[in-house]
Chains A and B, each alone.
Chain A
Amino acid sequence: MSFLELKHVSKSFGGHAVLKDVNLSLIEGEFVAIVGYSGHGKTTLMSLIAGLTRPDSGEIILEGKPITGPGPDRGLVFQNYSLLPWLTVGENIALAVDSVFPALSPEERAAKVDKHIAMVKLSHAKDRLPRQLSGGMRQRVSVARTLAINPRILLLDEPLSALDALTRANLQDEISQIWQADKKTVVLITNSVDEALLLADRVIPLTLGPGATLAAPITVDLPRPRDRIALNHEPEFKRLRAQITEQLLGYSAARRTHVSRKLVLPDILPEDLDHPRVNRPPRRLSEEKRELISQS
């Protein structure tokens, strides 16, 4: 039985179809990456699974139960971190832990907070405010906050796209390690084919909107742990990357506009400001051509 299932899910905003007939099925412990263009429904798809928005039609089923609203069983890591700026790193995570595990003793909750801060290697920054952290550190706090509530499924909504390339690579490795440590089910949304191939078991391209939908999944059969450097020389990696990239580029090529009419330029040439035109008619494109012909 599938762990998470989307059945014929459609969503439109203000009469514009954003997602149309999206079907997806995940087994437990699977890491799936959805790649697609920006602004074509990726984040909408994620808020649907998170329960922050409701689909117009179709249903989303997690472990046999339909999703009707947001909840801590789905850990969402936001693209813009969404840390509360008036709380320190520790307090941000404690807010999540305290509200999800009210039955635990205060000591147990504090230990949980500390454990997850250590997991993302930020113990030294526990008492800092988000604005005192770099982008990469903020995203690690956000990941720690999500892991701390021990969700059944992790939803990563372009978590790394606001970061510089090096930080991004580091965090990809960290996410990979964390996933291999406890094999949570993960849905990653990204615009980077390399990132998808490095992390995921399956890559699913999202077609272009309006009315975007998921294309056929592509299984990534690369051995783990995957090393980003070695991967670059792996023929299978190169083949998959080319295939997915081509598929994505194909979507946009199909809808490229073509100019079928020859445009007529205005019959006038730019003025030469060093030689002001006094009592002289403006230079015409047609006249210039005639001159050239007479010269040849």
Chain B
Amino acid sequence: MNSKFQNAALSTALALIGVGLFFLLWLALNRFAPDLPTPTSTWQGARIYIVEPFAYRGEQDQGLLSLTSKSLILVAKGYFIALLIGAPIGFCLGLSKNFTRTFDPIVQVLRPVSPLAWFPLGMVLFLGTGGQALEYGALFTIAVCAMWPTVLNTAVGVRAIPQDYLNVGRVLRLSKTKMLFKIMVPATLPYMFTGFRLSLGIAWLVIVAVEMLTGKVGIGQFIQDAYMNANYGNIIVGILTIGIVGYILDRLMSVVEARFKTA
């Protein structure tokens, strides 16, 4: 118990030292880049966004958490589309050799494409929807970029289902649907959740690019705005916000992931 406490204390102390070093580096960088705001000026510039996180002073001028929640909602929509499309594709890739032969090259080619490249295509796709094109284009970009880890991890998980579990199903002559939902999906879930977690990370990564391109209000737009208005301190605040939110999302997902670990 005592050593556990000491361990926690040591971890906290070292983490605080790390933060301290980060600020020292920041101060040192100020000497070389005079335009980079100091920690103090950053705090003064961003104070109003942090101490009133939900304030609404106009569409372009809101508290940080208010902006973050707008971004999160967009990410959530795109992310669920990614899961809904990605998991079945992954299942097909894992189940059928011929499906893999047919579509794996396409998957491998499309996977490394940047969100910046997908966005214009998304816009073109949804131009017909008129006013909604920006929204749909944004969702398309998030979904297409975020689905690959889900696709690939699901495929690996399906291929890794132990033959013994499948034999149990064969001996019991389970129907195709029962085989899928009683044996294959539960056996694949741990892999799928690893994919879901990585996908969420990417979806959150993509949001900044998407907001910069669309001008939709959110945390990415906040950074773009700060840059345009030479309000450089807010860029740093935006980066830290994105990082912290991303970290929290990842921790939440790994808690969920651990709950689905079987055997």
Contacts and interface: CB of A to CB of B under 8 A. Distances in A.
Interface string A53-84: 00000000000000001111011101010101
Given A78-B167, A82-B168, 5 more contacts: A69-B170, A70-B171, A78-B168, A86-B187, A99-B178
Interface in B237-263: 262-263
Contacts of B174: 99
Interface string B164-183: 11011011111100100011
Given A85-B262, A95-B182, A131-B263, A80 B171 contact: no
15 contacts: A70-B171, A72-B172, A74-B171, A76-B171, A78-B167, A80-B164, A82-B168, A84-B168, A84-B183, A84-B187, A85-B262, A95-B182, A99-B172, A99-B175, A100-B173
Contacts of B167: 52, 70, 76, 78, 82
Contacts of B39: none
A149 B165 contact: no
Contacts of A70: 167, 170-171, 173
A84 B175 CA distance: 17
- Interface footprint category on A: 20 to 34
Contacts of A130: 263
A45 interface: no
Contacts of B183: 84
Interface in B127-176: 164-165, 167-168, 170-175
B172 A84 contact: no
Nearest to B186: A86
A115 to B, nearest CB: 18
Looking at B164, B172, B187, the one whose CB has the most chain A CB atoms below 10 A away is B172
A6 B62 CA distance: 79
- Interface footprint category on B: 10 to 19
Contacts of B170: 52, 69-70
Nearest to A83: B168
Contact of A95 (B172, B189, B262, B263): B172
A85 B171 contact: no
Nearest to B165: A84
Contacts of A85: 262-263
A144 B263 CA distance: 20
A72 B182 CA distance: 17
A22 interface: no
A208 B130 CA distance: 76
Contacts of A149: 172
Nearest to A78: B164
A71 B263 contact: no
Given A95-B182, A99-B178, A50 B171 contact: yes
Nearest to A146: B171
B168 to A, nearest CB: 5
